[in-house]
Amino acid sequence: MGGTDADVAVGARPVPWRRLGARLAANLAAERERWPLWLPGFMGAGIGVYFWLSFEPAAWLGVALAAVALAALTLAWRRPSGRWLAAIGVAATLGFTAAQYEAHAVAAPVLTHRINGALEGRVLAVDPLPKGARLVIAPSALGDLPPAVVPARVRVRLRHGDGGLAPGDEVRLRVSLEPPPAPAMPGAYDFERRAWFERLGGVGYALSAPEKVAAPTPGAVAQAIEAVRHAVTRRIRAALPGPDGAIAAALITGATHAIPPDDAGAFRDAGLAHILVIAGLHMGMVAGICFFALRALFALIPPIALNHPTKKYAAALALLLTFLYMLLSGATVSSRRAFVMTALALLAVLVDRLSLSARALALAAVAIMLMTPDSATGPSFQMSFAAVAALVAFYEAWRARLAAWHRDAGALKRLSLYAIGIAFTTVVTTVATAPFTVYHFNRFPLYSVAANVVAVPITGFWIMPWAIIACLLMPLHFEAIALTPMGWGIEAVTAIAKGVTAWPGAVMTLPSMPAWGIAIAATGGLWLAIWRRRWRWWGALPLAFGLLSAGFERPPDILIAGDAKLVAVRAADGTYLPSKAKGERTTSDSWTKRVATAMGPVWPDRGASTDGLLSCDDGSCRYRARGAVVTLIRDPDRFDRAQCAADLVVAPVPAWRICPGARIVDRIDDYRDGGRAVWLDAGAVRLESVRDYQGARLWSPRRGPAQSRP
C-alpha cells in the first residue's frame, strides 16, 4: 500500500536508477556547503559557449539571457533546489554576457591586406627578444590609410636591438604589416582571436631603423608601469647578460620573450615551465619572504614589538609589496590569480581569521573571468587554476595526516617530508594540468617529478630571495650584488632542465583532443576537486574519457596552407610529406604539433613516394588514399583539363575555368577561407577550412573572393 509501480511487492528491491538517484541526492545534501564552488565552473561554461558558437550572437542576447536568469532566481529564491538551479543559470549567463561585452568593448580596426609604409605612433611596450626586439605601437598614422581604419595597436619586430626606445616614446619608421594570421589549420592555435582581444590590428617587421620623434610624455598609469617594467628589465639584463639575465628578467618582470628557444624548450620538456611564469609559486614566495622578514625586523625594535600588532603590520606591508610585484610582473592571468589568493590569505591574518582556500580560489576565478573573460579559454588560466584546485583538494584531504607527520618529525625527517611534499605536489599538478597540456601544447613531460624535486628548492631558497634583494638594491644601483648569486641559481636550474630533457623519452608528443573532450575532462576534474565524500571518485570516469577522446579524431589526409604555398599529404607511416622543404616553417610546425607527428621527405620531382601513395611528374602529383584520388598541381603553366579527373583538385592558381564541374580547392578558396584539412574516403571527400572552424565571428571577418566566380 502506498507503493509505486516500480516497487510491485513489499520488500521488492528499488530499481537501479532510483537507488542511484537517492544516493546522488544524499551526497548532494551532505556537501551542501561545497555547492558555491561550482559557480565559477558554470560561469566558465557560459564563456565557453560564447566562444564555441559559429556565429556572432545579437548584441542584446547576453543581457537578455542574464535578465531572464535573474528573474528566475528571484522567483525561485524560497525553494532551495530551485534557487540553486536558477543560480547556475545566472552564473552561466553572466559568463556569456561578460565574454560578449568584452568582445565588443575591445573592437578596433584590423588591417585587411598587407601594407608597406610609414608608421608614426607612441610606443606602448618594448619586448626584448633573443635577437632584436618587438615593439607594440599605438599608431597615429599608417601609410595612406584613413584615420578611421588605422589599427589601435600594431606589433613590429626590430632585427637589431630596441634602438634605445622606451614605453611612451613617439617614433617614426617604415614597416611592413599584415593582418594577424589565422590558424594554420582548423583547431590550431588562433592568434587572430588573441590579437582581437589585445586590440592588435596588424603585425610585421620594420623596414628601417626607428626614429625617436619625441621623448615620453606623462601618460596613463599603465604607461608608467610599463616604463618601470622596461627599465627594470634593461637593468637586469645589463647586470646579468645572456640567457641567465633573460630568465632573471622573466622571474622579476615577466619578460619571457628574450629567453633563448633552447632554454625555454628545456624548461618546458622537463616540466619546469611553471618556474618561468610568474604564478602562485613566485607570488607565495615573495609574500612569505616579505612577511617573515618584516616580522623579524619588527621583533628587533622593542618599542614596536611590545606595543603594536607586528604580525598585522607585516601582513599589510607584505600585501602591498606583493601587489607591487604583481604590477611589475605585468599582471598576467596567472599572477593575478596568485595575487588574489595570496591577498585573501594576508587579509585573513589582518582580521584574525583563517583563509578558506577553496573559496579563495573560486573568488579568484570569478574575478578574473569578469575582468578578462577571454583568458578563461587560454592555457594560462586553465592550467593555473587546475593546478591550484587539485592542490587545494589534495591538502584538504591530507591536511590532518600531514600535520601529524610534521609535528612528530625531527629535523632530518622534516627535510625528507619537504622533498616528498614537492614530489607529491608535482605529481598532483602534473596530473591536473595534463589534459590542458595535451590540448594546448601536445607535449607531456615524463620526468617532471625528478626535475621539480631538485629545482623548486633552489628557486625558493636561493633564486627568489636574491630576486627580492635585487629589487630593493635597484634604486641604489647596487642590483648586481644580488643578481650575480641569483644567476648562479639560474644556471643550476637550467642545467637541471637540460639534463632531464636529455634523458631517453623525456617528453611524449600527443595529438590534441577535441573541444568536447577537454570540456568533459575539465568537468571530471572539477568533480574530483570540489567534492569531499567518496563519490568524488566518480569524476575519474569523465576525466579518463576526455583524455582518451583524442583517439576518436582521425588525422587529416591532406593539409593545405592558407596561402596555398604549402601542401602536405599523409604517408602510410603517419608522417606528412610536404610539397617543399624550405619556407613556411611556422605553418609546418603548427601542423606537426597539432597532429603529433613529424614531417617526412619532400615530394619527389618524378616518381613515387616510398609507400606508393604519392606519384609525381613534372607538372603535378597524384595522391591515392582510402579509395580516393586527389590531383595536386605543382606547375601552373602545365595545368590542363587532363588533370581534372580526380575526386579533388588542389591548385595554387584559380582552377574553376580549367576544371569546370570538378571539386577544387584553389587560391581563391585559400584566400577567402584560410587553410584547409581534407579527409578522404572511398567516393567521398570531406573538407574543413579555418573559417568553417572559426565561424563568422568579430575576430574572423570573412574576406571577399580575390576573383569572382560565375
503 inside domain: no
Q: Are residues 442 and 341 in the same domain?
A: yes
Domain-located, residue 702? no
Residue with cell 594540468: 433
Sheet holding 664-665, edge to edge: 607-608, 614-616, 620-625, 628-633, 648-650, 664-665
Question: Do the beta carbons of residue 659 and residue 641 sit within 8 Å?
Answer: yes
Q: Which residue bears the cell 565524500?
A: 533
| Alpha carbons 145 and 399: distance in angstroms, whole number | 62
- Asked if 313 and 359 sit in the same domain, the reply is yes
Cell of 355: 583563509
* Contact between 165 and 215 (Cβ < 8 Å): no
User: Do residues 225 and 94 lie in contact, with contact meaning Cβ atoms separated by under 8 Å?
Assistant: no
> Would residue 160 count as lying in a domain?
yes
Q: How many Å apart are CA 514 and CA 12, to the nearest integer?
A: 44
Asked whether residue 239 falls in the same domain as residue 189, the answer is no
How far is 111 from 109, CA to CA, in rounded Å? 7
Q: How far apart are CA 445 and CA 433, in angstroms?
A: 11
Average pLDDT along the chain, 710 residues, taken 10 residues at a time = 45 64 82 90 95 92 92 84 85 95 95 93 91 92 93 93 86 94 89 94 94 75 85 93 93 91 92 85 85 90 87 91 90 79 81 70 88 90 88 81 69 71 79 88 87 88 92 92 95 95 90 90 94 90 91 91 87 92 80 88 92 90 92 88 88 86 83 89 88 89 45
Task: Report pLDDT for 357.
Answer: 72
Q: Give yes or no: residues 446 and 420 share one domain.
A: yes
* 285: Cβ contacts below 8 Å, ≥ 6 apart: 459, 460, 464
Residue matched to cell numbers 573568488: 363
Same domain, 205 and 275: no
Inter-CA distances, 503 with 267, 269, 422, 510, Å: 13, 11, 21, 18
Give pTM, 2 decimals: 0.86
Per-residue pLDDT, 639: 87
Here the CATH number for the domain that contains residue 137 is 2.40.50
308 and 183 fall within a common domain: no
Where does 102-149 show beta strands of DSSP type E? Answer: 115-128, 133-142
- Whether residue 423 is found in the same domain as residue 453: yes
Q: Report if residue 500 sits inside a domain.
A: no
DSSP 8-class letter at 34 = G
- 523: cell is 568537468
Q: Are residues 477 and 530 in the same domain?
A: no
Cell digits for 565?
604555398
- 363 domain-assigned: yes
Domain check: are 1 and 62 in the same one? no
Question: For residue 710, what pLDDT is reported?
Answer: 38
Q: Is residue 510, in this structure, part of any structural domain at all?
A: no
Kindly state the cell numbers that stand for 299.
621583533
The C-alpha cell 625527517 sits at: 413
Print the domain residue range for 25.
Answer: 1-30
Q: In this structure, are 206 and 155 located in the same domain?
A: yes
Whole-angstrom CA distances from 38 to 334, 398, 529 are 20, 22, 10
Do 525 and 616 belong to one domain? no
Number of domain units in the chain = 6
Do residues 5 and 53 lie in contact, with contact meaning Cβ atoms separated by under 8 Å?
Answer: no
Q: Is residue 548 part of a domain?
A: yes
3-state SS class at 79 = coil
Domain boundary among 79, 105, 131: 105
User: Do the domain assignments include residue 38?
Assistant: yes
pLDDT at residue 615, as a whole number: 94
Find the angle CA(306)-CA(308)-CA(313) to the nearest 5 degrees: 130
Q: Which three cell numbers stand for residue 462?
A: 636561493
Indicate whether 88 and 128 sit together in one domain: no
Last residue of one domain, picked from the residues 71, 105, 139: 105
